[in-house]
Amino acid sequence: MPNDPGPSRRQVLGGVGVAALTTALAPVAQAAEALSRPGLTLTGRATDLGTGWRFVLVNADDVTGPEDHFADPAFDDSAWQAVDVPHDWSIELPPVDHGGTSSASGFFRGGLGWYRKTFTLPPALAGRRVSVEFDGVYSDAHVRLNGELLGRHPYAYTGWSFDLTGRLHTDGRTPNVLAVRATNRLPSSRWYSGSGIYRNVRLVVTDPVHVARHGTFVTTPDVSTVQVTTDVANDSAGAVAAEVRTTVTDPAGHVVARGSATIPLPAGQTHRAVTELPVRDPQLWSTERPSLYHLRTDVVVAGRVLDTTTTDFGIRSFAFHPDHGFSLNGVPTKLRGVNLHASQGALGAVIDPAALERQMRLMRAMGVNALRTAHNPPAPGLVTVCERLGILLMVEAFDCWRTGKVAYDYHLDFDEWSARDIAEMVHAAKNSPAVVLWSIGNEVPDASMAGGPEIAAGLIAAVRAIDPTRPVVMGSDRYRSVPAPGSPQDLILRQLDGLGVNYNTAQSIDGLHTTYPDKFFFESESSSETSARGAYQDPDLLNTGENHTPGKRSTSSYDNNLASWTFSGEYSLKKDRDRKFCQGQFLWAGQDYLGEPTPYDVFPVKTSFFGAVDSAGLPKDAFHLFRSQWTTGPMVHLLPMDWTNHRPGEPVTVWVYSTVDTVELVLNGKSLGVKKFDHKATVDGRPYLETSEPSGDDKHDPSGSYTSPNGSTGKLHLTWTVPFAPGTLTAIATAGGQEVARDQLVTAGPPHALTLTAEPRGEGAMSFVTASVVDARGTVVPGAEPVLRFAVRGPGRVAGVDNGRQELAQSYQRPSIPAFHGQAVAVIAATGRGTVTVTASAPGLKTAKIALPGTSSGQRNGPGARARESADGLAAGPSADASYAGAPDTLPTAMLDGDPATGWSNHYLKQATATLNAVSRSRAGDWVSLTWPAPRRIGTVTARFVVSDVLARPATIEVACRTSRGLEPVRDPRLTWAGDQATVTFAAVVTGEVRLTMTSHTPGTAQGFLRISALEAS
């Protein structure tokens, strides 16, 4: 990748230098788009300030730079980029392995940026109250109006307001300049955070007598009563009497209740009005029927309505019982939850309503009914989506308290700001029926320190002072054993209503329940198994190693790649299922996210592997595992999802997930047999499906398998071993002898064409279009990875592209990307009315087109507007390659460095987990290869092997060379050994690649791994 040091100090000193910077980063949005009409059109009480901003990235690698004059109203910002907010400058930069980046940030840079918005206001605003509200800026926002500092707000995940009254020009001619300075000093987070004004901004205009910010709180003491408390502010110079009128309408728009209360309002004070409204036959909000009511609040003084606000809310009851679990409206309900970070794949941290809805609809399709906002307060738009789709929320405050986890995280501001920030978190979401839990933190180190209980007490009190109707909890990894009496963990837990545990064994959560019978428990993080879409390895192992070969860094989708602290998805599902007292679980994670690419910590792996769906939103096999346990409709899923890339006769382990007890497997019309799940029940009588066989997944149980309290063991999938034959593999699920669901895999032919499919677009301007590489019959070709190029005609643009591949260091905001396992996703932003035509093309393949609707609400300068086509991240292939490298220090290139002490090896040692022993088992075979930029004539290949107690010479060696027809075996091969050096001579051939395929003498044992210290061809 070319070195990209970012802008110099000289480049940001003035207009000319800034023009050079913005031209380099974004040639699309330039000074030609200068704001010629800065007049702001007010749209009622709140006016969106999303458009018409200017932005400059002062420094991508530090938070310093010459910038004092940037807030001056007279400063000429016409050379800055034109942007719309929400905006994330980090996602617009190419990922790099310098400048302070790391795998935690996804190798994206942060730095220092400035925003400016220039606008005029009409004389009609004289005498009105005006404020500006931000939902979130990453981070440490300093806000100035017309050069005057209004204040700062360090925390990126909470909103705030600044009063602008008396500071604004309201003559309709004199421009106002709102300037925002934002910084992201790395490392500031353990995962990708984004940078900039990444959430919404609005201007709020009210009468001096008005409903205070966050002044409405709707509760339902019982399902037939709605209680409304309203804080009304009087910012005028005189006392008034205000009538607060409340009107409730049902989901169909019919008025069902009215009330009023009159309160005295002395000048400069805020008082509270309380009304109780009976509602007959309420439509209860639930996860299946998320019925929303609507509250209108009018503040009336002397017969005049001075302010009106609206609030959506739901009527519902819920309970967390220490023994009987969670119930919603009296119905026992497990929390089937996921954790999600605040990012949207190719859009970065930009909050977009269509992207949020798409993400949450994906989760709902998996059976999800709950979301933990890991590990920070959510954007208001996400809360709205969840309450509309019926997704319960555990809203979380902080990832750390006073003790930090990285150098520049929130611990630097915790003492000064945490009380205000946690109050803001509660106020912002307190009216949502989706919110059922407030969390004061995640895995905070202070939980096991002497000062932790006092910190927790303050946070808990701050939450309960605002909302006493919901439990206060935290998520923690510090309760994997029962705390000692009087320890910080013990003292904190006794203050909480309940506790979310992260990665506890079945035995440890049972111990907590017994010791703290008045507390409720749930899994705030469960499983954390890792997988890459379309990657499969060692299905008979419960925990397998990783491939460290560059370009092949992936993890197995057989639910069998685990880190030391994690569990398989099946273990986590069974553990939660069997315990009525366990309120449920939150899977880590619902979707892959930028950063934390466990088990790899190397450029260019920039995305996590934890998700049930990948970063592009394409489901992995884990999605279907959880779907089979969290949904009730008939479904069946086959894995591996690839019935193409196998050798004839190769035994393929086929798993089936299903909600139905009976499944038949059919290959090319021939039945491979019928298999069934057994019908079982938990000790409290809840039915479930499971096989009855040893699972081998719990070394602490005397049987070696996780054993349910009812005494049974088993697996959540059915298994066949199938000799591969090209054709069609079908799983048919039957109930009562009738087919109710099927899944089918078809062997793909050569790539022939591209297809495009668009998901239904929710609220907003973003559409998600999946491009697939298909053969002549329309079957997706799982091994096809051509570079796909997207083009848009009409009122739209490519806002971002993603293929779900974790190991790919290219910019997301560009119009091209290689397919991954035959697919990629383009995010298309509509920018105006009319038809948007999207075209996808790739060399040698038939192009595809699709038409999308435009919109009147699209942003001209939103994500993707500054994208540029380049070769960022598309590095040339290595000169040495291998099918598998077992460790980071045994990569294929080590065969070519001339050092006999280094070399390639397929040896791996997988560390133990809480329930599984360590494993190191030799592989059946692997290949290594050499490639050249131009074909050359060769007739000999020499490989120097290393032999030890775990390394051996291969049993066989086959040599193949690349021709116009693909890899073909060499003619007349002859293998000779001289000690541990193998030489293969063959009929000379002109080729650009030679490959050695080797088998092990003792596969599946602790011996028999391979290592080559040198590889040569002549």
Point out the residues that are catalytic. Answer: 443, 525
CA atoms lying within 13 Å on the CB side of residue 96: 17
Any idea what the Cα angle at residue 187 is, between residues 185 and 193, rounded to 5°?
Answer: 85
With helix as H, strand as E and coil as C, how does 897-952 read? Answer: CCCCCCCEECCCCECCCCCCCCECCCCCEEEEEEEEEEEEEEEEEEEEECCCCCEC
CB atoms within 10 A of CB 357: 23
Strands (E), 946-980: 956-963, 966-969, 974-978
d(CA 552, CA 881): 10
* C-beta separation of 929 from 881 below 8 A: yes
Tokens of 486: 């009087």
Tokens of 444: 């905070």
* C-beta separation of 578 from 707 below 8 A: no
Greatest distance between any 2 Cα atoms in the chain: 104
Burial of 201 (0-12, 13-18, 19+ CB in 10 A): buried
Q: Phi and psi of 633, rounded to 5°?
A: -70, 155
Three-class DSSP category at 751: coil
Residues in the chain: 1018
Please spell the DSSP secondary structure of 225-239, one letter per residue.
EEEEEEEEEE-SSS-
Burial of 673 (0-12, 13-18, 19+ CB in 10 A): exposed
Give the chain's end-to-end CA distance (angstroms, integer).
Answer: 31
Q: Which helix (H) or strand (E) segment is 373 a member of? A: strand 370-373
- Cα–Cα nearest to 255, from 213, 215, 293: 293
Q: Tokens 């059946």, residue? A: 924
Q: What is the CA radius of gyration of the chain?
A: 30
Tokens of 586: 């939150």
d(CA 368, CA 394): 13
- Cα–Cα nearest to 774, from 763, 782, 762, 765: 782
Q: How far is CA 243 from CA 223, 239, 260, 266, 593, in A?
A: 26, 13, 7, 14, 49
* Residue 651 β-bridge partners: 723
Q: Tokens 């910084």, residue? A: 183
Taking phi over 0 as left and psi of -120 to 50 as alpha, with beta for the rest, 503 belongs to left
Three-class DSSP category at 382: helix
* C-beta separation of 590 from 626 below 8 A: no
d(CA 360, CA 674): 35
* Residue 311 β-bridge partners: 295
